Amino acid sequence: PPIQPFSISFGADNATLEPQGQVLTRRMSDLEGLFADGDAWARAVADGDPVVYTVVSSPVPEVPRELPQSITTIYPGETGGEFWMTKGHQHPDPQGEIYLGLDGHGGLLLFDGERAEWLEMRPGTIGYIPPSWAHRSINVGDEPYRFLAVYPGSAGHDYGWVVAHGMGLRARRASAPRTGNGDTTHVD
Ligand code: 6PG
Ligand code: NI
């Protein structure tokens, strides 16, 4: 039967949705080949394999014409000096996607294969991902970074492209934080 109109209540403290669909947990071992420092990644996997992020979805299915939503929570952390991040992906059926910052301080890294863009994400920031741009989210703060994603149900997810091409930039803690603006992120 088709999905009926519904509203979702959101528990900000623990990122629960009611009603809730699938819940995905990505541990460090799921991020093989993505951090620049592979030895640091392997040590983190051996040392407890921490949860790096979770994705809770609404009950809207990923099928054509539907508009699924999910909330990602990236925990604060660094591996080999690089901030914790999502795997990153491209949508095989290129279509736009919208993110809304909910909690914490993050970055939305976009890469079209040639050009990389960095969007600062704070609570209330709307980040737009144009069709064909690969995207990765990064927690650059000390608290969980949380955002809502809304995307077309036919978009699909291609993770191999990012493994093969990278994301153009990496986000590390700045060795000498700039004073005044509180900027502690170094993107290169
Ligand atoms: C999507 C969104 C978003 C994303 C998560 C986890 O297309 O579904 O971009 O929900 O999937 O933030 O990131 P990864 O899918 O890259 O692991
Ligand atoms: Ni996406």
CA dist., res. 103 & res. 121, Å (int): 9
Q: Report CA-CA distances (Å) from 172 to 33, 105, 129.
A: 17, 14, 22
ipTM of model: 0.98
Q: Specify the residue with its C-alpha closest to ligand 1, atom 13.
A: 86
* Cβ neighbours, 10 Å, residue 118: 15
Q: Which of 133, 157, 159, 161 to mutate for ligand 1's pocket (most ligand atoms within 8 Å of CB)? A: 157
pLDDT at 157: 97
CA of 179 to the centre of ligand 1 (A): 33
Q: What is the pLDDT of residues 22-62, one digit of tens each?
A: 999 999 999 999 999 999 999 999 999 999 999 999 999 99
Q: Report the separation in Å between the CA atom of 72 and the middle of ligand 1, taken as the mean of its atom positions.
A: 7
Please say whether the beta carbons of 173 and 185 come within 8 A: yes
Q: How many residues does the chain have?
A: 188
Q: Domains in the chain, ordered, with CATH?
A: 9-187 (2.60.120.10)
Mean pLDDT of all residues in 83-97: 97
- Ligand in closest contact with the CA of 60: 1
Q: Which residues contact 96 (CB under 8 A, 6 or more apart)?
A: 128, 129, 130, 131, 152
Residue of the CA atom closest to atom 9 of ligand 1:
149
Higher pLDDT, 155 or 18: 155
Token duo for residue 59: 């009950």
Ligand 2 center from residue 158 Cα (angstroms):
9
Nearest CA to ligand 1 atom 5: 72
Residue with the smallest CA separation from ligand 1 atom 12 is 72
How far apart are the CA of 72 and the centre of ligand 2, in A?
11
pLDDT in tens, 123-147: 999 999 999 999 999 999 999 999 9
